[in-house]
Structure 1
Amino acid sequence: MAKYEKYAEYKDSGVEWLGEIPSHWEMWKLSHAYNEIGSGTTPSTSNEENFEGDIPWVTTGELRENVILDTKKKVSQRTIELFPTLRKYPSGSIAIAMYGATIGRLGIFGVEATTNQACCVMTSSKVLNNKYLFYWLQAFKNEIIQLSSGGGQPNINQEKVASLKISAPIIKDQIKIANFLDHETAKIDSLIAKQEKLIELLKEKRQAVISHAVTKGLNPDVTMKDSGVEWLGQVPEHWKCIKIKHITTTFEQGWSPQCDSRPAESHEYGVLKVGCVNGGSFRSFENKALPPELEPRLQYLIQKDDLLISRANTKELVGSASVVDGDYPNLILCDKLYRLRFSKNVLPEMVSLYLSIGTIREQIELGATGASHSMQNIGQDTIKELYYLLPPYDEALNILESIKQSNQKIDELTRKAESAIQLMQERRTALISSAVTGKINVTNWQNPNYNNNEANTELGA
């Protein structure tokens, strides 16, 4: 922040985590600054007519630090009349999430809207500009969350939001600060978006490399043949196209005892959770402790090189696979997992990678049963009847090594991109915090995109 000027004099804000503010700034309690601070409610979901209107109904899941122009669900004027705690808030209002995982998330209403009970809404003020407040609340999200109460998930209430003390200059200067932050955060956000796009491209590259290697091999000049399977197409001539049931020596699912919710400690037996295969790498910490009074079924103890496949999971994850990467003498297979062991000429890691590629995922999803948006199941035959491409053993080893080296390069590029994003996000937060507490003076800043004429962003002032 060295390139920005400071104000001439400062004073104690009276709030420990704000520190000093410019001497001519004031502290405004939200309850004194705003004409109205309110919330909303959730109409009965058992009556579909409650959501057959055209008035946006905002939930905390739709608060994403941006302007809200539309919502997934809408209510009617009749619904508002039926539920007295449901009311319309004007365009320009600021909403903050008060509960659970979304606590502290923000949104600006770009249209007139209602909300559920987890949103706290500030409408209009004569002393605080809404866009300025929007940035102020972003800057101190963590401190606001620290005011929360509750056991499992943090919660703040409307009273705690209303009691927040906001540091601010006069409205005219608030608008200048908001304009400055609009411009500067947009530049940072653009850079972040480019890094996020790079990460997505790297993910696609990883999947493309794996898909090509396990279905076409590494030799671009290899002679190809028709696999005889429509969804596999051409494959290397010397590879075998064989059903998975013909290369397995063991195919079983595990045990379903009543376990403790906590993970097993080193001296205890643990039963794996289905999430242990998510992401393609074996996650040994995804387990539940077996109560000491229950005798473990040792025939289900996992071993190194076991291939585990999720039998019951969400649509996106059912059929996920990973290979047990070491010795775990106290971890037991659960009933939501299949365990496969293979003939000596088959590498479990190759089968795991094969099951992860798009073409094979499509076949697995076609064989899944159950509700489309919740838990789905696959029977053993969904996996057993899949065709697998089996290269010679030595060639398979070379393919795995090539994929490993490619993944290492992609991982390094991904880490650099993630590090860059983190640094930019930290700079963004620091810049906002400095501007809304007067650590930097940007009131003389002029937008270069508007020929030095300030644009008015006075939302809800």
Structure 2
Amino acid sequence: MIDALKPYAEYKESGVPWLGKIPKHWQALPNRTLFAEVKDRNHPNEPLLSVTIGKGIIRQSDLLANSSKKDSSNEDKAKYKLVQPRDIAYNKMRAWQGAVGVSNYRGIVSPAYIVIRPRGEQNPDYFHYLLRTPAFAKEAERWSYGISSDQWSLRAEDFKQIYCSLPPKEEQDCIVKFIAHKDRRINRFIHDKRRLIELLNEQKQVTTHRAVTCGLDPNVRLKPSGIEWLGDVPEQWEVRQLKQLLLRMDYGTSENLAHEGLIRVLTMGHIQDGQIVLPEKGSLSSIPSELVLDHNDLLFNRTNSPELVGKVGIFLGSSSEQVSFASYLVRLRVEQEHDPRWLNYLLNSNGFWNYAKSQALISLHQANLNSTRYGRMLLPLPPKQQQTEISDYLNEQTEQIERSIVITRHEIDLLREYRTRLISDVVTGKLDVRGVVIPAMDVAETLEDIDTDEDTDTEAEDLIESEEVTDADE
């Protein structure tokens, strides 16, 4: 698609290193001539806005509703700055990461943000795209000051010294219209691919649930299990309490993690999709030998949010790796006559996991499922040979599905890279889109109707943790 576009007929040197050559009829001007800084305060009752890396400016209420972050804004919002629709704002501490955007809302932002308004008859959306390019982010980094990257700040007076490209207004409109059209199409492709990933994950869950509750023989005779969530099971299967399949259940270490030493300590975030993802670095220098994980140990998350409590992962390493686990995880060591891989699949199946979550005690948005309650839970128990057959079958099936998911995620990454490159080339004049005919937008194909492809967690990280007002913010 980029190959179908052509560069402009004539270029000139912009005199600005990050811009390079620009179309002959464009200008390169300092931001002080392009934008006016806005410091409109004393609007404490206006809704809060957030400037995110992923989406630009959004309502903070929308951000908090879709993340685990909490509102960290000051109670006294008299010094917060008003943002009008079509204003632009950037996060001084995150401008070098792309935390900038044009607002579609009226609201207020922290004093740690800079609010600017394009001068004259300019299209704010053009600058929205330009200021979010990797090239501008690099320039913002060059003008930011601080001892370390987490303290870099792009002050308003420094932002004003940066030069930006300026096409004629009608050309800005063409560029914005073209990018919006391409963005909708790319978002649609990404939406469809993310939906495919959802379907593949659903297929994996259905395949797993069927295998661990009914076995692999579709013609097997069934009997009532007496377990509400389970229903009928093969006649030769038993129903047991989980603890009857285990040698031991152990709580993890309660030591404060020093983040030094060779012993890696697993936390709930290291349990992902039934597997254990090891941390890169160690956290402790010593640990009791009984708290070192062995091959095929299972870990279950006894304390988490109500949505995530009870997740299980299998440790496929060995005791020689010196890996331990934190106190809100419980180690399950399986009897030799049972297959730990099969048990891992069973405990992570939707049926059993939902059953486990229903047994958790919830207090202040936190769920706890202690080992005693967990160990008493009933589950279907096939003979050892069938356990192994089920494990081998599910390993093969899930590996095929995972390969498809990995391929699809890679395709999403390529679409994102393509979009970033396309936007950068268009807003800096590397490609000419003036003659491109944009088809009429399908009524159903608005940006609000198409899921964006950015992860909420990335945007949540952009919330201001500390909103102390400095002299420069006054």
| TM-score, with structure 1 as normaliser | 0.83
**Residues 365-410 of structure 1: CA deviation (Å, up to 9, x unaligned):** 233335444x543211221111121111111111111111111211
- By how many angstroms is 1:144 displaced? 5.2
User: SS at 2:414's partner residue?
Assistant: helix
The equivalent residue for 1:408 is 399
Aligned length: 427
Distance 1:274 1:448 in 2: 48
**Which of these residues, 181, 185, 189, is aligned with residue 183 of structure 2?**
185
The equivalent residue for 1:228 is 226
The equivalent residue for 1:420 is 411
Moved more, 8-17 or 212-221: 8-17
Change (3 A) 1:257 1:228: same
- By how many angstroms is 1:260 displaced? 1.9
Distance 2:40 2:349 in 1: 46
What are the within-5 Å matches in structure 2 for residues 137-176 of structure 1?
A: 137-140=131-134, 142-143=137-138, 146-147=141-142, 148=144, 149=146, 151=148, 153=150, 155-159=152-156, 160-176=158-174
The equivalent residue for 2:247 is 249
Change (3 A) 1:62 1:157: closer
Q: Which amino acid aligns with 1:444?
A: G
Q: Which runs of 5+ in 1 are unaligned?
A: 44-49, 74-78, 451-461
Query: Do 1:280 and 1:321's aligned partners in 2 also have CA atoms closer than 8 Å?
Result: yes
What are the within-5 Å matches in structure 2 for residues 251-330 of structure 1?
A: 251-262=249-260, 264=261, 268-285=262-279, 288-291=282-285, 296-329=287-320, 330=322
User: SS at 1:138's partner residue?
Assistant: coil
**Residues 11-48 of structure 1: CA deviation (Å, up to 9, x unaligned):** 2223323221112211232232123345979x9xxxxx
User: SS at 2:83's partner residue?
Assistant: coil
Query: Do 2:298 and 2:331's aligned partners in 1 also have CA atoms closer than 8 Å?
Result: yes
The equivalent residue for 1:238 is 236
Distance 2:359 2:263 in 1: 33
- By how many angstroms is 1:56 displaced? 2.3
Identity of aligned residues (%): 26
| TM-score, with structure 2 as normaliser | 0.80
Distance 1:426 1:272 in 2: 33
Change (3 A) 1:151 1:412: same
Change (3 A) 1:220 1:200: same
What are the within-5 Å matches in structure 2 for residues 67-216 of structure 1?
A: 71=62, 83-99=77-93, 103-126=97-120, 128-140=122-134, 142-143=137-138, 146-147=141-142, 148=144, 149=146, 151=148, 153=150, 155-159=152-156, 160-216=158-214
Distance 2:82 2:258 in 1: 46
**Residues 284-306 of structure 1: CA deviation (Å, up to 9, x unaligned):** 32664323xxx531222221121
Q: Which amino acid aligns with 1:143?
A: K
Q: Which runs of 5+ in 2 are unaligned?
A: 65-72, 442-474
Aligned CA-pair RMSD? 3.1
- By how many angstroms is 1:165 displaced? 2.1
**Residues 95-142 of structure 1: CA deviation (Å, up to 9, x unaligned):** 334446994234433232222345433334216320101111222364
Change (3 A) 1:413 1:114: same
User: SS at 2:132's partner residue?
Assistant: helix
User: SS at 2:164's partner residue?
Assistant: strand
The equivalent residue for 1:363 is 355
Distance 2:93 2:228 in 1: 50
